[in-house]
Amino acid sequence: MPITKAFAAASATSALEPFQIDRREVGPHDVQIEIAFCGVCHSDIHQVRNEWGGSMYPMVPGHEIVGRVTAVGGHVKKFKAGDLAGVGCMVDSCRTCASCKRDLEQFCEVGGAFTYNGTEMDRKTPTYGGYSASVVVNEDFVLSISPKLDLAAAAPLLCAGITTYSPLRHWNTKKGDKVGVVGLGGLGHMAVKLAAAMGAEVTMLSTSASKEVDARKLGATGFGLTSDDTTFKRLAGHFDLIIDTISAPHDYNKYLGMLRLEGAMVLLGVPPAPTPVAATSLIFGRKTLSGSLIGGIAETQEMLDFCAGHGIVSEIELIPVQRVNEAYERMMKGDVRYRFVLDMKTL
Ligand code: NAP
Ligand code: ZN
Ligand code: ZN
């Protein structure tokens, strides 16, 4: 089995360090990708540090993977060597359950194969993510990346992009809708760009006053500082949709007060601890509190094509893989503008 260089965490308290993994040989339906860039998602930190429980070590994180195809199996139809390709949060699913048949593989009823910190569908072989030199993935879970997009800046589309695109589409975001985006990090900045491209009137809701200028450059026309209580009064009953990307526990009730009649708030952030929600926060105004998990493979391709059409990529800070531990520390302080991307040449 081909030995592949990687960066891994040995435990919940270890720093990420150089490591070697076995990748499988290229099977008839597989695509082998030489990884050029991999984005750093806050989910990588939650999982490396076992904040959600059940983490498996050694862990090679990374689910915002882009690169070039180096080999394909005999039955592969959609890719050939030299093509640009991407891999997101999933590498396989059962293909036959009701969710998979609806192109919602992220909700596979038997549990799909996540790109890392999981197993292949045999439920034995561990999966290793994109902080590595190459990956081998079934072609059905490989995405096509337009050469029009800057490749490094396109990497975060594979998670931050689809995770924000999917709820915007599901809640039918259209011209003139008032959309609030909570938390200006990796997901938040993609939500602003995508909602603005769909014609929405976007307001950034942030704890960081210093991010206002950037929020407006990204396409927001309004800004609310959430450490200031007058923001919640000023924007009471304002939004059709609120996209919440905060990675730490916070009071949802305050944000629900900014929804209009029958508005919806969608949780994307996965804080490690639960937060109480008062029934009255939802009852008055028949409001909806919902959640959303990445997006299916077909919708991920649709999002990538939408981004190619609108010239949308992530705002990135490209760093050598050896600086990933420092990137984690900065993300824990909300100090990210707006996605770290690892240059895998440096591995
Ligand atoms: P990130 O880049 O670290 O951004 C999170 C932002 O949240 C920060 O920049 C900060 O924005 C705000 N924030 C952080 N701590 C806060 C606190 N204590 N109180 C208030 N605001 C705080 O993270 P990300 O990669 O965008 O991921 C965000 C969350 O989404 C994570 O929990 C991640 O696991 C989750 N996620 C979910 C999915 C899904 O499918 N649902 C997919 C990917 C990621 P401001 O400075 O603007 O306040
Ligand atoms: Zn992610
Ligand atoms: Zn399934």
State pLDDT tens for residues 214-247: 999 999 999 999 999 999 999 999 999 999 999 9
The yes-or-no verdict on residue 44 having pLDDT over 80 is: yes
**pLDDT digits 0-9 by tens, 303-345:** 999 999 999 999 999 999 999 999 999 999 989 999 999 999 9
* Distance (Å, whole) CA 338 – CA 315: 5
Q: How far is CA 142 from CA 32, 40, 212, 307, in A?
A: 10, 19, 36, 17
End-to-end CA distance of the chain: 20
Domains of the chain, each with CATH number or no CATH: 3-159+314-346 (3.90.180.10), 161-291 (3.40.50.720)
Q: Would you state the pLDDT for residue 63? A: 98
pLDDT for residue 110 is more than 90 = yes
Q: Cite the DSSP H helix spans in 102-248.
A: 151-154, 160-170, 186-197, 212-218, 230-234
Q: Which ligand has its closest atom nearest to the C-alpha of 88?
A: 2
Q: Are 294 and 90 in contact (CB under 8 A)?
A: yes
- The whole-number pLDDT of residue 322 equals 98
Mean pLDDT of the region 43-57:
98
**Predicted confidence band at 2 (pLDDT cuts at 50, 70, 90)?**
confident
Strand partners, 242: 180, 265
Ligand 1 atom with the shortest distance to the CA of 292? 41
Cβ pair 43, 63 in contact under 8 A? yes
Q: Quote the ligand 3 centre to 94 CA distance (angstroms).
A: 4
Two tokens at 1?
């089995």
For β-strands 259-267 and 239-244, DSSP reports them as: parallel
d(CA 273, CA 208): 22
Pocket of ligand 1 (CB under 6 A): 41-43, 46, 159, 163, 183-188, 206-208, 211, 245-248, 250, 268-270, 292-294, 331, 334, 336
